[in-house]
Amino acid sequence: MINFIIIIFFILFLFSFIVGTFVGYKLLHPYRFPILQTFQEQYERGEIPEAFLKSEQHVFRIPSLYGYDIVGFYFSGQAKKTIIFCHGIAWTRYGMAKYLKPFFEEGWNIVLYDHRACGETGGKYPSFGFYEKKDLQTVVEFARKKFPNSQVLGLFGESLGGAVVMQYACLDKKIDFVVSLCAFTSLRDLVRFHLKLVFIPKFLHTIVLFFTNWYVWFFANFQISDIEPRDCILKSQVPLFLVHGTGDKLVPHWMTEELYIKRKELAFTKFLSIPNAVHTPELYTQNKKLFEQELQDFLKKT
């Protein structure tokens, strides 16, 4: 009987080790889409606005604190307003082009760039905000120098980008607003959510997470327990616009809902919950008019 119990424990331990390291590997090795492919796909789906194609793109390449170059481009506008866009995991800056039309029309200065390990920016592994928030700080400093007369500076992120802008918010009290679409609020909770989706028993989650954490720390020098966008944004007073769809299967809607309930008591927070909407880009493309109306309402109040 004792031998049988030992065997069962060993099997569960081995299973947890395999699953945990596999999850860690998948976190650090998403497919890195070529930048030209992302542009082509966005263009074919009609997500590149005409103003984007007609306006002059100014490419920039600035050094990251972590030894690689951050690459992006900016558009100079007539208004004294600047907005920086942060894209989702494994994609590139072109993924944010679909949101630009109203900002072009209002003459904003616009900055888009590739996260680490994405597009043309260097870096070996994504870190879900651990290193990306410091890269964003570098881009913010670049934007402030490039547009010194700007009186408004906001951040706009989707999915991973939404998590990054929330993690950055508590580092910079001069940011005027943050827009975050379908972002996770805790990487640990997100991993647990996906373990549940593939029917990993709940009693094994802690062990699986231990091995995932170990794998990520060993190869990328951060821990998934370090990635808590919720905790960061709760420390900031910046106006926040949260958007999420109830049908999102990649990042659960309840994450944003729970954050909103806590955040609205602390600072100005707007939450657009869209019934049955899934993850980006469909969240936006299928609800474009509603989103843009609510976004304009939010910006007028900030």
- Residue 233: enclosing H or E segment and its boundaries? helix 229-233
**E strands in the chain:** 58-63, 69-75, 81-86, 109-113, 152-158, 177-181, 240-245, 269-274
Domains of the chain: 1-30+189-225 (no CATH), 33-186+227-301 (3.40.50.1820)
Residue 4: the pLDDT is 75
Residue 3: the pLDDT is 75
CA distance 17 to 209: 9
Half-sphere exposure of 157 (CA within 13 A, CB side): 30
Residue 7: the pLDDT is 84
Instruction: Identify the burial level of 102 via C-beta atoms within 10 angstroms of its C-beta, where 0-12 means exposed, 13-18 middle and 19 or more buried.
Output: middle
Nearest to 161 by CA among 67, 279, 43: 279
Residue type for 192, please?
A: R
Residue 1: the pLDDT is 64
CA distance 6 to 243: 48
Look up tokens 């049908």; give the residue.
Answer: 247
DSSP strand pairing (152-158 vs 177-181): parallel
DSSP tag of 174 = T
Backbone angles phi, psi at 125, to 5 degrees: -125, 145
Q: What are the pLDDT tens digits along the chain (302 aa)?
A: 667 788 888 899 999 999 999 999 999 999 999 999 999 999 999 999 999 999 999 999 999 999 999 999 999 999 999 999 999 999 999 999 999 999 999 999 999 999 999 999 999 999 999 999 999 999 999 999 999 999 999 999 999 999 999 999 999 999 999 999 999 999 999 999 999 999 999 999 999 999 999 999 999 999 999 999 999 999 999 999 999 999 999 999 999 999 999 999 999 999 999 999 999 999 999 999 999 999 999 999 98
Dihedral sign of CA atoms 119, 46, 299, 82 in order = positive
Look up tokens 């949101």; give the residue.
Answer: 99
Q: Determine the Cα angle at 94 with ends 93 and 95, to 5°.
A: 90
Nearest to 150 by CA among 112, 108, 106: 108
DSSP tag of 56 = P
Residue 290: the pLDDT is 97
